Amino acid sequence: MYELDCSAVFSGSRRVIRSDSQAGVIRKAIAQANALGIERVSPSMMDSFREKMVERPEAATEHAA
């Protein structure tokens, strides 16, 4: 399970994105950026998504939900 705390990328955001794949997190992060009014995701923002994304053990995320 991969996770991205959006507050690490988007100032003021409290969303935490989770997905089974890194690509899934990236897709959701782009959608979140668009929802926040960011029309173009820059290469540096994509780098931030990748840098701030963490891998969480499956068992830990099941209990957190």
Tokens 């988007």 label which residue? 10
**Amino acid 65: pLDDT:** 47
Structural domain for 14, as ranges? 2-64
pLDDT of residue 62: 54
Q: What is the pTM of this model?
A: 0.82
Count the domains in the chain: 1
pLDDT at 61: 52
pLDDT digits (tens), the chain, 65 positions:
999 999 999 988 899 999 999 999 999 999 999 999 999 999 999 999 999 999 998 755 555 54
Cα–Cα distance measured from residue 54 to residue 39, given in angstroms and rounded to the nearest whole number? 25
pLDDT at residue number 12: 85
